[in-house]
Chain A
Amino acid sequence: QQQVKQSPQSLIVQKGGISIINCAYENTAFDYFPWYQQFPGKGPALLIAIRPDVSEKKEGRFTISFNKSAKQFSLHIMDSQPGDSATYFCAAPGGYQKVTFGTGTKLQVIP
């Protein structure tokens, strides 16, 4: 089964700073790498995703960077805001569209 290692487990960032979360995966056969955002008491929601034929994808303040040779992808949140405080999960698809999630990063953005 696909293993996904996510770090750090928790992160505290000042408002306006950059939040960086990293993920490493094992299997190179897959073609879709999403990040999900989860607020307390809610289900996760897709935030941004990348395909490995590009090295970077940017949507507003959120950027995914993908390093295929290192089997790593990361989420960068620029100009972090208190409203970004949530738990973030990376994920990697498996057979039959099974998705394995990273262990999650709890982000707290302080004013």
Chain B
Amino acid sequence: SQTIHQWPATLVQPVGSPLSLECTVEGTSNPNLYWYRQAAGRGLQLLFYSVGIGQISSEVPQNLSASRPQDRQFILSSKKLLLSDSGFYLCAWSNRGNSGSPLHFGNGTRLTVT
């Protein structure tokens, strides 16, 4: 069965520090991968999505970047965190090439920038 791993679960970082969040998927090949951010009590904002290795599309201009060095690995990074980067970061995957494929989410990383 497919599983998605996301870590760390919680993170407290000072303003100006770097960030690296990692997500890996097991049990499937060639997935679409996604990073979403959810502010407290708010909806889900799509940050990045990827349809293949090295292929990254950014949805919102921001202080963050994403990379996909391997087929089932997706990394969210920042060189210098801002207070506004605080939030709940969710990684997700879906089957490629199937418009009826649901998203499968990890359990998220709660990031607090102080």
Partner of A43, one of B43, B51, B102, B108: B108
Interface residues of B (CB under 8 A from A): 32, 34, 41-44, 46, 49, 51, 57, 59, 90, 92, 94, 96, 98-108, 110
Interface residues of A (CB under 8 A from B): 30-32, 34, 36, 41-46, 49, 51, 89, 91, 93, 96-104, 106
Enumerate chain A residues within 8 angstroms of B107, measured Cβ to Cβ: 41-43
Kindly provide the distance from the CB of B36 to the nearest chain A CB, expressed in whole angstroms. Answer: 8
A-B contacts at CB below 8 angstroms, number: 64
- B100 pairs with A45, CB closer than 8 A: no
- A42 pairs with B108, CB closer than 8 A: yes
A100 to B90, CA, bound (A): 14
Kindly provide the distance from the CB of A107 to the nearest chain B CB, expressed in whole angstroms. Answer: 14
